[in-house]
A and B are shown apart, each in its own frame.
Chain A
């Protein structure tokens, strides 16, 4: 679970906890055009959500959680 980092994209899976936020932030800073896939993300910590909202990477996929979907403008 957590985040799997590929060359051009990161995949959020299952529960993504607060510790992952910083890693994701640094990764996104180093790869500004990378995409983040959220399809299999069940739940993310507010810190992670904050990173996604602040850095606005390309979000691919649609999360199952309707609230998360709205928050990421995937509604």
Chain B
């Protein structure tokens, strides 16, 4: 095993989160169509995987809950139990609690003791739905059995010397279909810690002839162990409901209780004990050999194995052999291989046994054993992993590196120019350019490839919506169906992540203000169930997200009134707004129509927060609403935001960058086509009037926009919201890919600039933010 325990734990947390997410998703799906066995099976499989993972660690609280959930789902899956909203609630509760436990594990590495109580409670809530008596009764109060419950009479079958006080008596009756769960009750029982006695009998009389099915478990296992109760409970932790545990009372049971039918004569008994000791000796010996057989054994391990084996030798009752083995041990060369050979040669009980893969440690996980022990090395190697799980930091680091690479490669053309103009090395300049084009191509491919890695389907944020809509609509007494479309549309991880909160906000708004209660809807002639449609699609290099509800729409009169009331716009202006314009008022900071503060929406942090969040990632928000018919929110977002394509322009003899996605076109307009009206300038482009602003003036530079030799002015047409505006600049330069670094520190307040970028020649390019500038 190359994974150390912390890496394993990290992996566990990662996988558990994934499982929980899928489970949450599936739970809602199943609630919608409870008869779909495919969904149920998938749900069960997820829970099962989670339970299996929990078993790797000592997180009892976690395991209890997950296991109870698994049992309940198994019932539902096999049709013994019907799925109903109550069960869904309990399962969702349990799932929430499980995720909170995972969070605790991640931050502290272990679970607090208090978690146990709550999880027992939840597990019991789950088991209540199983329709059977709480099977955890023995588990929750184990010592009570000593006095209250009489010992079962079969205890008498165990040899009397094992019926000492404090010993644990176990009756294990595996359920009939346990084989199909990959369990091996016999192996589980025979590997019980501290096992003293094990008897097996048919639970029911064996069916004869064809009626006998070897895959219906019909065993009744009874055992006595000297191990502590907790250890035994841990050993049988997967099958608590099939167990009965008793602790031997302090007073020895009356001898007359039952004559020990299976009691053996004393001599034979000691023989059994010797056998037991020899078996244990063999086990420990083999464990040591397994240790040696692992790859990359350290010198310290070899030394300690050697010491353990030397001590074990003393237990052998064959003095000449011990002496011989000792002498041989003294002669062997250092290192794991010779010691392993020695250990094989002097193995107690002969040398015929090959080392199996997983040792006794794996025994606690009952799984069908594969044939051929050697093949079962680890299991993980042969699973043929096609998917790599990489932490986000590593991808982010790659992204940073490729960003630097892009900048560094841009230095080559400058170098070529210098070689040619300064040193007159034409040939060299050409070669540098040729090299540059090669590097450029590779860097672009690489950048593209890394971007692909960072792409996530938007579905991962949509997944949370199911739960949100379910819970909120229940709370508000509304009947809402959520329709999700285009989940597979991909966008950059950062874009996706920064979208989650705004989207949830929009959904809440729709649920709280938009959609009506069933009665109101019916009265308005609409179906009782409201529809909330979330769809995503890709358009060029943008992702479009649409959230549409068929609710009441935005009450524009009320919006106007509220806006005036809160002093956001003057009353005379409010009355002149069209309905479509009035709808946009909700984007004003501090706008809220709701008078009372509910815990859903209406805390004053309204749509302006949404707009800010979306604009921060270079996106746009549009809002449309029709009274009585519903509201549509449309988000337009870039696919990626790591590398920005900018166009370089010149104004006042300085260079600036303008993000390409804002640029509509670049035109040269003859000076006489520019119309002056009072202080404003306009021109007509393709039959539309475009207002013009001088960039130098906006930036407070003194220079007037320069004309070229033909008397034309350079106009950069940019799109601001839904209108175009022309910026008068001196000249256009080429485009460039840059890594945009936001302004920091004292510069952070300057909104006219989106940030800075380092150019290939080492200069700094200021990137304009036309939205704020104009």
Contacts and interface: CB of A to CB of B under 8 A. Distances in A.
Question: Do the two chains belong together in a single complex?
Answer: yes
Interface of A: 1-2, 14-15, 17-19, 21-22, 24-25, 42-51, 53-55, 64-68, 70-71, 75
22 contacts: A14-B373, A15-B373, A18-B179, A18-B184, A18-B215, A25-B212, A43-B369, A45-B187, A45-B368, A46-B174, A46-B179, A46-B186, A46-B217, A47-B215, A49-B219, A54-B206, A54-B207, A64-B279, A65-B190, A66-B279, A68-B190, A71-B200
The 10 closest A-B pairs by CB, nearest first: A46-B186, A54-B206, A67-B190, A21-B214, A46-B185, A25-B214, A71-B200, A51-B214, A67-B198, A66-B275
Given A46-B174, A66-B272, A54 B212 contact: yes
B254 interface: no
A50 B218 contact: yes
A65 B272 CA distance: 11
A47 B349 CA distance: 27
Nearest to A22: B214
B371 A70 contact: no
Nearest to B195: A67
A15 B369 contact: yes
Given A25-B212, A46-B184, A46-B187, A18 B368 contact: yes
B202 A71 contact: no
Contact of A50 (B214, B349, B371, B372): B214
Contacts of B200: 49, 53, 71
B185 A66 contact: no
A22 B215 contact: yes
B190 A53 contact: no
Contacts of B264: 75
B185 to A, nearest CB: 5
B370 interface: yes
Given A17-B371, A18-B179, A25-B212, A43 B349 contact: no
Contact of B184 (A1, A24, A45, A51): A45
Interface string B202-218: 10001100001011011
A17 B198 contact: no
A42 B353 CA distance: 9
Nearest to A2: B371
B75 to A, nearest CB: 23
B199 interface: yes
A30 B126 CA distance: 47
A70 to B, nearest CB: 7
Contacts of B202: 53-54
Interface residues on B, range: 20 to 34
A25 to B, nearest CB: 5
Contacts of B189: 67
Nearest to A46: B186
A62 B217 CA distance: 24
A47 B179 contact: yes
Nearest to A75: B272
A53 B368 contact: no
Nearest to A45: B184
Contact of B186 (A1, A49, A54): A49
Contacts of A45: 184, 186-187, 368-369
Contacts of B442: none
| Most interface-central of B184, B185, B212, B218 (chain A CB within 10 A) | B184
Contacts of A50: 214, 217-219
Nearest to A67: B190
Contacts of A49: 186, 200, 219
Given A2-B371, A18-B184, A48-B214, 10 more contacts: A14-B371, A14-B373, A18-B179, A45-B184, A46-B174, A47-B179, A50-B217, A53-B200, A53-B206, A71-B199
A70 B198 contact: yes
B368 A17 contact: yes
A40 B219 CA distance: 24
A28 to B, nearest CB: 10
Contacts of A75: 264, 272
Contacts of A48: 214
B332 interface: no
B522 interface: no
B286 to A, nearest CB: 11
A47 B174 CA distance: 12
Contacts of A55: 212
Contacts of A24: 214
Contacts of B230: none
B276 interface: yes
Contacts of B214: 21-22, 24-25, 47-48, 50-51, 54
B91 to A, nearest CB: 31
B373 to A, nearest CB: 6
Contacts of A42: 353
